[in-house]
Amino acid sequence: MAFCGTTARCTAQDLPIQFDLPSVAVAHDTELSSVGDAAAVPTGWNTVSFELRLSCINEAAPIVAMQQCTVRVKPRDASVQIVDYSPRTEVISDLTSPVQIKRTDEKSRSMGLSLDGNYGRIARGNVGSDNGSKQTESVQFDRAAPMQAVITAGTFDRGRGAYFKFRRTETQVLEGERRLQITMCVPPTWRCELVDVDVTCETERRKQSLWDKSSHPVTSTNFIVATYRNDDAQAAELAHRLASTEYQLKVMAQRVTAPPAPLTLTGMLRQVGKTFESNPVPSDQNWLSNLLQTGDDPQRDRSFASLPTPIKTTAMNYVQLRHWFVRLDDVPLDSAIVRASGSATYVPTKYTPSTAAH
């Protein structure tokens, strides 16, 4: 069983790897001089930074080993660009000191002469001569130790998103919490933003017997984070209500798609009756993924129409809150409208917050 975050898309259902990320992030103003790519900030625009605290736990270690984890962060507003991020690319070596190399060149030369003679039994002579030389040269130098990347980071989609890739090494583990810092350039009227965070983890399932084969499944999870300016009380209230409604919607959806308990005779007859219903409850959560990822009217989804009424009501409230949140830059909302939105009726996409105030 795989434990995943908001609107999880797990391609390996048997991996007990769980990711977690808070649904709300507070953005603070950043000095332009401290931004890595200050030249990319248009004149008159501001820069804001927010932090993402991504946590991961692997409940199947060491049977399932996490090899690398990739995080992609992208604001939904196409006009917002990433101008700085942290951490940056980092490389390390398994060796603690440079590699020492010593080369020795030895040359040797020798020459010898020997004469030996006898004159009967009276005299014997022996003359010898030897001349040799030896030359040795030794060179020693240090070579940089081989490096490997433990963190790689950069941008994608022409600077509208940032990615981080973490690799498992002998000195780095992938479990635990990691803090990612994102800096965006925003217009002067910016108040809030929805940010998509995609997390992909590559794992390795080790062999348990001679007949097992090692596999490399992938787990993918998606989160939606609502970020807002730290001094904006209205945006903060909307962001927290949006996050609370999203969590409530997920819990209700899991109850609908949960495997049924063993049925009694009465329950079996009731289940047979549901089989012949014209609008059976959908067994998957594609409708939930479409609802959270797109801004379309959920009533256009056929599977959405067959959901229980409490889920549809909560989903419509979520869509309305999201509609107000993403348009908060253009039309300021009164706090009373925000508080009343919890029980309000869903309004289609063409709805504008200013019309609801009257």
Distance CA 144, CA 112 (A): 47
Residue 318: pLDDT over 90:
yes
pLDDT at 333: 45
Q: Specify the amino acid at residue 156.
A: F
Q: How confident is the model at residue 105 (pLDDT cuts 50, 70, 90)?
A: low
**Which domains does the chain show, CATH number per domain?**
1-94+147-230 (2.60.40), 99-143 (no CATH), 232-358 (no CATH)
Q: Which residue would you say has higher pLDDT here, 301 or 97?
A: 301
- For residues 161 and 133, what is the distance between their CA atoms, to the nearest angstrom? 70
The string of pLDDT tens digits covering residues 155-170 is 999 999 999 999 988 7
The whole-angstrom separation of Cα 333 and Cα 354 is 8
Tens-place pLDDT, residues 239-271: 999 999 999 999 998 887 655 555 565 655 555
Q: What is the pLDDT of residues 264-313, one digit of tens each?
A: 656 555 555 544 444 444 445 678 888 888 766 777 777 788 888 899 99
Q: Which has more pLDDT, 319 or 141?
A: 319
Q: Is 70 exceeded by the pLDDT of residue 324?
A: yes
Confidence of residue 218 (pLDDT cuts 50, 70, 90): confident
Return mean pLDDT, the chain: 75
Model confidence at 7, in pLDDT bands (50, 70, 90)?
A: very low
Task: For strands 46-58 and 123-143, give the pairing.
Answer: unpaired
Q: Omega before 298 cis (within 30°)?
A: no
- pLDDT classification of 16: cutoffs 50, 70, 90: confident
- Indicate whether 25 pLDDT > 70: yes
Exposure string over 199-238, b if 16+ CB within 10 A, otherwise e: bbbebebeeeeeeeeeeebebbbbbbbbbbbeebebbbbb
160: Cβ contacts below 8 Å, ≥ 6 apart:
74, 75, 78, 80, 81, 82
Spatial CB neighbours of 69, under 8 Å, sequence gap ≥ 6: 56, 165, 166, 174, 199, 200, 201, 202
pLDDT at 39: 77
